[in-house]
Amino acid sequence: MEKLIIGHFYPDLLNLYGDRGNVLALMRRATLRGIEVEVKRISIGDDVKNGDIDIGFIGGGQDSEQNIMADDMKNVKGDVIKQMIEDGVVFLTVCGGYQMLGQYYQEHGGNRIECLGALPHYTIGEKERFINDTVYELELNGQTIKVAGFENHSGRTYLGEGEKPFMKVIKGHGNNGEDGLEGCVYKNTYGTYSHGSLLPKNPAITDMLLELALKRKYGEDYELPELSTEVEDLARKQALDYIEGRQGIQQ
């Protein structure tokens, strides 16, 4: 088998709130299945072409760091990223990364910052920040899965035409605190506000992304080998117990 290539965009600038854990989760659940993985760091000054990567990951950063990479993303890598998204390359984008794929970010009380425009959503900055644990529901392969996470954002994101929500909010605010929706899906690109990190505790999402990428690589008949989710399930259950207030002595 060929290597699975994960493209980690701007890892030295967009690396807040455990973004690294998502890349680690993809690496781990692929490696344990005997799939060789390579992580390409794609930051300012690094070249990337359509076809170079199987899964792209874009995290979030501090404002000052997002200011540093914003030009590069729009003017240097923007067209390639758009092309990859249209071609169905698998992408996971979190918080700042999710916002930046959209149309624009309207700062609280002023400035409208043009974003990449790869996806139709847009974001409005508000004064109040949503900082809390989150629980979402994800429909996946005919099953409803509870997802545990954490959100920390002042932007309210509104989905556009052709985009579907990624998950439904059970606890927390999600995209905007109004419509009960969390994240976006467009072709094989996923956006979310969920930190946590998202993937380690929610291996169904990790596996979904891996399978999508590997099907693209080896054809629709490819099936991801079975792999236990025991330790992840235990961690998710404990986090959900904590978040939903089912506390007490646990061992």
Partner 1 sequence: MGLKAPAHAAALITKGILRIMGRGATTLPGKVAIKMCPDIINKCARGKKIITITGTNGKTTTTHMITSMLRSLGYEVVTNVSGANLASGIATTFLCEKPSRGADPEKTVYVLETDEAAFARIAKDLQPKVCVVTNLFRDQLDRYGELTHTRDLIAKGIDATSAKIVLNADDSLVASMGKTRAERSSYFGISLKTMLENNQLHPNNTILEASSDAAFCPECKVRYNYNARSFGHLGDYKCPSCGFSTPAKRFELSSDASGNPSDIGFPFDINDTKNDMSCELNLKIAGSHNLYNTCAAVSAVTTFLENDREEEAEIFENVCKAQENVEAAFGRMEKIAVGNKYICILLVKNPVGLDRSLSFVAQSSDADSLMLVLNSNTADGKDVSWIWDVDFESKVDDLPQNIYVSGERYGDMMLRVAYSGRTVDGYGTLEYATTLLKGALADCPDGKCIYILPNYTAMLDLRGRLVKELKLKDFWKD
Q: Which residues are catalytic?
A: 95, 195
Q: Find the part of the chain contacting partner 1 (CB under 8 A) among 83-91, 103-111, 219-227, 243-251.
A: 243-251
Q: Using CA atoms of 100, 7, 74, 64 in order, give the dihedral in degrees to the nearest 10.
A: 60
Q: Find the part of the chain contacting partner 1 (CB under 8 A) among 47-55, 73-81, 166-174, 189-197.
A: 189-197
The encoded tokens of residue 29 equal: 């659940």
Site string for partner 1, 38-57 (x = CB under 8 A): -x-x-xxx------------
> Backbone phi, then psi, for 165, in 5-degree steps?
-70, 150
The encoded tokens of residue 184 equal: 């976006």
- Give 223's contacts (C-beta < 8 A, 6+ positions apart): 211
Site string for partner 1, 118-147 (x = CB under 8 A): -------------xxx--------------
The Cα–Cα gap between 18 and 108 comes to 26
The encoded tokens of residue 24 equal: 């680690």
Q: Between 97 and 119, name the residue whose CB sits nearer to partner 1.
A: 97
Q: Considering only residues 204 through 233, tell me which ones interact with partner 1, judged by CB under 8 A.
A: 231-232
If binding is defined by CB under 8 A, does position 74 make contact with partner 1? no
- Give 48's contacts (C-beta < 8 A, 6+ positions apart): 7, 40, 42, 77, 80
CB of 153 closer than 8 Å to CB of 125: no
What residues line the site for partner 1 (CB under 8 A)?
Answer: 11-13, 15-21, 23-25, 27-28, 39, 41, 43-45, 62-65, 67-68, 131-133, 150, 152, 195-197, 200-201, 231-232, 234-239, 242, 247-251
